[in-house]
């Protein structure tokens, strides 16, 4: 009995080893191609990543990463027990969720509309123009927003004409998220549509032919051919977007922030900017990053699993 089970294990092992050997032999070039990638990730991501232990230390520049004193979860508790923690989490999540609901689909719609254009030159011009705002620096974009949204500003005047108050909209906590999301679409929609335009170009034209022969109209072609063709790209990007749910960048927030809209505008990153970066409190920033990463990672795993089950597409 004993020897039989041992033999079985041995056979199991052997067959695993055999399978591995077979796999390595068959895909030797694939693994060869992966080698530089793996080396790069080890060197430039994983090695520095070890240094993130400063989240659990009191990093002092002069003592270095390894010489600094351990403090356990001090920075985490300090962040969780901050007076503003609830507000920061709420604002970050809400801004991010609004972005997923509104700014995420916008480039898909834009790409579909551009795809439907029959005038090739016009199409190119529209494509080129819509992607341009991406290149204008945030400082300038926010400067324009402040200008347009002040009392008697361009947008304010338009809104006043339809019966809304003629006041500085950046001073209204209720308007901040709308401003943030709308301007995000304005600035990034065209740029983000590029990836979908590329994906559209690789959809098999024969599928459209077939759909047309079946008598499908535009809308049904879009629904039955185009969207399924875009689905892998959409799902992958969506998973990555959900994984960035706590990463609302600080630059735009800091530029549009003021004491009267802080109620809705202050987010984790802008708080960390004041508390960690300006004060050179690197352990604190790393701790908050770690917290963000953990939450995002859990979300990604959940989304990825759901996506794989429903659409067969996933990150891994």
Partner 1 sequence: MIRQSKGERTFQAANVVLLGFVAVLTLYPLLYVLFASVSDPNLLVRNSGLLLKPLGFELGAYKIVFNNPDIGNGYVNTLLYMSVGTVISMTLTILGAYALSRRHAMFVKYVMFFAAFTMWFKPSMIPFFLTVGTDMHMKNTFWAMVLPRAIVTYNLIVLRTGFAAVPESLEESARIDGANDFTILLRIFVPLCMANIAVVTLFYMVSKWNSWFDAMLFLNKRPMFPLQLLLREILILNSTDSMLAASSVGQSDQIPVGETIKYATIVVATLPILCVYPFIQKYFVKGVMIGAIKG
Partner 2 sequence: MKQSIRRIAALLLAALMTLGVTAVMAEGPTVYDEPQTFTMWCSMDKAAGAISDWSENLVYQEMAKLTNVTVEFQHPPVGGEKDAFNLMCASGDYPDAIQYSWLTVPGGPANYISDGVIIPLNDLIDQYAPNLKAYLEAHPDINQQIMLDDGTYYVLPSIYQDIELATHQGPVVRGDFLEKIGMTPEEFPTTVAGWEEMLIKVRDCEELEGVIPFFFAQMTNISESPVILGAFGITQEFYNDNGTVKYGAIQPEYKEFLALMRRWYELGLLDTEFAANTAKLRDEKVTSDRVFAFIGSMGNSITRYTAMCRNENNPDFQLLPMPYPTLNEGETPIVGQQGAKYTGAGVAITSSCENPELIVKFYDYFYTEEGHMLSNWGVQGLTYDYDEEGNPYFLPLVAENPDGLSREQAMAKYTIWQSQSPVYKLKDVLEQRDCLPEQIEGRKNWLACKNEIIMPPVTPTAEEADEFATIMNDCTTYMQEQATKIIMGEVDLDEGFDTMVSTLKGMGIERAIELRQAQLERYLARI
The interface with partner 1 within residues 1-40 (CB under 8 A) comprises 19-20, 23, 26-27, 29-31, 33-34, 36-38, 40
Q: For the segment 172-211, give every residue that binds partner 1 (CB under 8 A).
A: 186-187, 189-190, 194-195, 197-206
> 204 Cβ partners below 8 Å, 6+ apart?
229
Out of 279, 297, 305, 311, which residue is the one contacting partner 2 (CB under 8 A)? 279
Two tokens, residue 217: 């109209």
Two tokens, residue 313: 């597409």
Alpha helices of 57-203 — where are they, by DSSP H?
A: 64-67, 74-80, 85-98, 105-116, 120-131, 138-149, 154-161, 176-201
89 class by beta-carbon count within 10 Å (0-12 exposed, 13-18 middle, 19+ buried): middle
Out of 130, 226, 265, 303, which residue is the one contacting partner 1 (CB under 8 A)? 130
Two tokens, residue 304: 């990825």
The site partner of 70 among partner 1, partner 2, none (C-beta below 5 to 8 Å per kind) is none
6 lies in the site for partner 2, by CB under 8 A: no
196 class by beta-carbon count within 10 Å (0-12 exposed, 13-18 middle, 19+ buried): buried
What is the H or E stretch that residue 246 is in? none
The site partner of 105 among partner 2, partner 1, none (C-beta below 5 to 8 Å per kind) is none
**Of 167 and 295, CB closest to partner 2:** 167
Q: What is the CA radius of gyration of the chain?
A: 26
Residues 41-80 vs partner 2: string with x where CB under 8 A?
Answer: -------------------xxxxx-------------x--
52 lies in the site for partner 1, by CB under 8 A: yes
DSSP for 87-115, written as a single string: HHHHHHHHHHHHIIIIITHHHHHHHHHHH
251 lies in the site for partner 2, by CB under 8 A: no
Q: For the segment 163-182, give every residue that binds partner 2 (CB under 8 A).
A: 167-168, 170-171
Shortest Cβ 258–partner 2 spacing (Å): 5
Tracing tokens 């003021």 back to the chain, one arrives at 258
The site partner of 214 among partner 2, partner 1, none (C-beta below 5 to 8 Å per kind) is none
Chain residues binding partner 2 by CB under 8 A are 60-64, 78, 82-84, 143, 146, 150-151, 167-168, 170-171, 258-263, 266, 274-275, 277-282
């Amino acid at each position: 009995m004993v020897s039989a089970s041992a033999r079985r294990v041995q056979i199991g092992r052997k067959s695993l080893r055999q399978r591995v050997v077979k796999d390595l032999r068959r895909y030797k070039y694939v693994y060869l191609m992966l080698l530089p990638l793996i080396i790069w990730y080890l060197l430039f991501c994983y090695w520095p990543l070890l240094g993130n232990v400063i989240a659990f230390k009191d990093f002092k520049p002069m003592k270095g990463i390894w010489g600094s004193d351990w403090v356990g979860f001090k920075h985490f508790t300090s962040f969780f027990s901050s007076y503003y923690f609830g507000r920061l989490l709420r604002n970050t999540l809400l801004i991010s969720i609004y972005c997923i609901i509104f700014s995420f689909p916008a480039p898909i719609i834009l790409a579909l509309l551009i795809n439907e254009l029959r005038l090739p030159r016009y199409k190119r011009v529209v494509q080129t123009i819509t992607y341009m705002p991406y290149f204008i620096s945030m400082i300038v974009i926010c400067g324009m927003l402040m200008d347009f949204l002040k009392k008697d500003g361009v947008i304010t005047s338009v809104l006043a004409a339809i019966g809304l108050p003629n006041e500085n909209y950046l001073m209204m906590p209720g308007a901040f998220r709308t401003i943030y999301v709308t301007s995000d679409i304005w600035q990034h929609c065209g740029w983000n549509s590029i990836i979908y335009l590329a994906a559209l170009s690789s959809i098999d034209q024969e599928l459209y032919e077939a759909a047309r022969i079946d008598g499908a109209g535009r809308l049904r072609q879009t629904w039955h051919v185009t969207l399924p063709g875009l689905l892998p790209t959409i799902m992958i990007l969506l998973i990555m977007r959900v994984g960035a749910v706590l990463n609302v960048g600080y630059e735009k927030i800091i530029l549009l922030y003021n004491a009267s809209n802080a109620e809705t505008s202050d987010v984790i990153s802008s708080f960390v900017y004041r508390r960690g970066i300006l004060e050179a409190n690197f352990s604190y920033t790393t701790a908050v990053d770690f917290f963000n990463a953990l939450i995002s990672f859990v979300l990604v795993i959940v989304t990825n699993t759901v996506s794989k089950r429903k659409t067969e597409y996933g990150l891994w």
